[in-house]
Structure formats: structure tokens, C-alpha cells
Amino acid sequence: MINTREFVIADYDAAVALWNRLEGIEIAEGDKRDEINEYLLRNPDFSRVAEEDGVLVGVALCGHDGRRDYIYHLAVTPEYQGRGIGKLLMGECIARLRNAGIIRALILVADDNPNAHAFYHRSGWEDVSAKVMGIDL
């Protein structure tokens, strides 16, 4: 039986292990334990995990800036993909955002991750024509 709950910092190592197993998810700046902890503290109860018998099988980082939401690193372990866990986690994130009054959510999907593109399209997400740019501070 799959249970979902809030992502807490104690889940960090298992989440990173899952993210590292999957193509298309890049662990980068901002993904260190202390940085994720700060993110979780600023966005309590938005990020979610799915687990079975205490083992993490899915994760989604979710937070907002008061205007827009971003969902990061939604991932489901390969053995559990196709069971609706990603959709469940996404739905829980979106419900929490709606309750917070957020009306637009965004997600970053790597160009070389066609499985993620297909998943999000099936889930009702639309492509946004914009160029993502960044700078290390």
C-alpha cells in the first residue's frame, strides 16, 4: 500500500538516491541538504513523498513565491512507475497550492527527457515557450 506524506529533511538521502537513479534529473546547485532544508522550511507541507512499508518510492519538491509555484524533481522509482504515484504526488502538490491561493504552476523539464514531457502532457501541463536562463551567485 502506497502512503503519501510531507517531505521532511530526514527523507533527503533517500530522495537524492532516487533522483540519481533516474535520467533527466540533475542534482545541482540548490540541492544540498542544507539548501533543501531551507526550501522545506519556507514551504511547509507542500513537498511530498510516497512510500511503501517505510521505503521512499516517489518524491516531489513543491513550493511557491506567493505568486507562482515551481515543482522540482518529481520522481518515482522505476519499479513503481506506471502505477499512478507520480500523478498522485502531483495532485497533492497542486491541491496544496490551490489552497494557498496560487493560480499558476510551472515545472522545468529537461529537453532530453521525453518520458517526463509525455507524463506532464498526459497530466494536463502545457508547453510554455520561454528560454530558461540562470546565473550562479
- Cβ partners under 8 Å of residue 77, min gap 6: 18, 21, 56, 57, 58
Element (H, E) at 94: helix 85-99
Q: What is the pLDDT of residues 80-135, one digit of tens each?
A: 999 999 999 999 999 999 999 998 888 888 888 888 888 888 988 898 887 777 77
Q: Would you call 21 helix, strand, or coil by DSSP?
A: helix
pLDDT of residue 8: 98
Q: How confident is the model at residue 17 (pLDDT cuts 50, 70, 90)?
A: very high
pLDDT of residue 15: 97
| Of 118, 99, 101, 100, nearest in space to 109 by CA | 118
- pTM (2 d.p.): 0.89
pLDDT of residue 129: 80
pLDDT of residue 133: 78
Of residues 107 and 10, more confidently modeled:
10
Diameter over CA atoms, the chain: 43
pLDDT of residue 28: 83
| pLDDT (average), residues 1-21 | 96
Domains of the chain, with CATH numbers?
2-122 (3.40.630.30)
